[in-house]
Amino acid sequence: MLTAVVESLHSDTLQVTARYVNSLVELITSNIDSIAGTDVYPSPRAPPGLIEGVHTASMITRHFKNTLLQMRARIDAASDEETPNTGADWEQIDIVGALLKMGLSR
């Protein structure tokens, strides 16, 4: 979901606001630890719609980290005076807390 929102911002679809992105990042960050817990009754197959092996805690965490790094690059590019503003309000997106929690320093 977060990846789709980021892509929407990148394609200049202004239906997604910075506040929505900030809320989504905060929600994922506050709940990411719950996926790392061991499941007493592990499922033998992936939930419907997911590829086998992709639903593991390490893959979900890795995907979230990669999405945060992609967002940080776009935020940094938006603050660069030489980069033209594409319409998306990247400077209003706050991912500092998520970067710190995920061990991704600035």
Q: Is residue 80 part of a domain?
A: yes
The answer to whether 49 and 67 are in contact (CB under 8 A) is no
**Dist. CA 37–CA 17, nearest whole Å:** 32
Say what the pTM is.
0.72
Q: Is residue 44 part of a domain?
A: no
The answer to whether 28 and 34 are in contact (CB under 8 A) is no
Q: Is residue 106 part of a domain?
A: no
pLDDT at 23 over 70: yes
Q: Is residue 48 part of a domain?
A: no
Domain limits at 31?
A: 2-35+53-101
Quote the pLDDT of residue 40: 44
- Least confident span in 5-9, 70-74, 101-105: 5-9
